[in-house]
Amino acid sequence: MHFVDVEALNFRNAPRATPETKFGTLFLCHPVEIVEADSGDGFCRVRTRFDGAQTEGFVSRALLRESAGERREALIAQAILQWHRFERGLGKETVDPFFRHVGEMWRAIGIDLDGKDNDQPWSAAAISFMVRHAGKGYEDFRFAAAHARYIHHSIKKREADAASPFWGFRLHEHRPRLGDMVCRWRERPIDFETARRRDDYKSHCDIVIKVDSAKNVVLALGGNVRNSVSITRYALGPGDFLADQGGVFAVLANRADA
C-alpha cells in the first residue's frame, strides 16, 4: 500500500497532465494500491476507494510515499478521518453536525460536553479519540482531557524503559516521523523539564502526517485548531529536528510498531 504525500493530488483517467484528464482529487495520506508502477511520463496506475467505489486511475508516482508501518498508519488514518469529517478544517465546532462530533470525542473520555461548550478546549479529547480508535498497540495511552497528562505519562514511560505507544523526547533527541506527536505550550511558557515533573500545564499536541525535509516543515493534524480539525505547519531546524519555535518543546515518538 502507498499513500498520497501532498495535500491534494490530481486523479486522472489517463497518464497525461492535461485539464481534460483530471476527474478527481485525492487528499493527503489517502491510501492507494499501485497497479502499474510506470505508466509513462512519471505516472503510475493506481486502484483506490473514490466516491464510494473502487476506482482505477493515474497519479504522479513521485507524489506517493510508502507505508510508515501498520500501526502508525492506523493512527494517521484516524486523524485524517476526523479531518475529512470536519470538512478539512472548514467545519466549525459550534455548527451542526460538527458540534455533535466534538460531543462524541468528549463522551469517549467520560465527559458530557459538546462543541457548543466552546469555553472548554477539546483538543486533548480529539487526540484521545483518534488514538483510541487507532486500535491495537495504543491501549496504554493516557486518554485524558488535558494534553499534559499524556505528555508527562510518555516521558515517564521512556525513563522507565517501559512499554508504551509513545515516549517523550526533547527536540534535539528525536527527529519527527509520521505518526509522532508535536507538543507545544499554551499561554504560559514551559519546558521539557517542567513536563517531566508535572502534568497540570496548558499545552497542545498534533499528530504528524507529513515530514518535508526539502521545505523544512512538518504537517500535523489536531483538534480545536482554528475551531475545527485542521493542519498546522511546524518548522524543521538543522538536522531535521523540530525547531524551537511557536511554543514547541517536545516530541512524542510513536512506538506502536516497535
What is the Cα–Cα distance from 147 to 154, expressed in whole angstroms?
Answer: 11
What is the Cα–Cα distance from 232 to 34, expressed in whole angstroms?
Answer: 29
Structure confidence at residue 189 as a pLDDT band (50, 70, 90): very high
- The pTM for the full model equals 0.96
pLDDT at 196 over 90: yes
Q: pLDDT tens digit string along 124-161?
A: 999 999 999 999 999 999 999 999 999 999 999 999 99
Structure confidence at residue 258 as a pLDDT band (50, 70, 90): confident
pLDDT of residue 138: 98
Across the beta sheet with 248-254, the strand order is: 166-169, 248-254, 181-185, 203-212, 217-225, 228-235
DSSP 242: B
Task: Return the SS3 of 167.
Answer: strand
Residues whose CB is less than 8 angstroms from the CB of residue 139 and which lie 6 or more positions away in sequence, other chains included: 165
Nearest to 102 by CA among 94, 149, 132: 94
Q: Which CATH number fits domain 2-66: 3.20.20.70, 3.40.50.1360, 2.30.30.40, 3.40.50.150?
A: 2.30.30.40
Q: Which residue has the cell 497532465?
A: 17
E strands in 62-194: 64-66, 166-169, 181-185
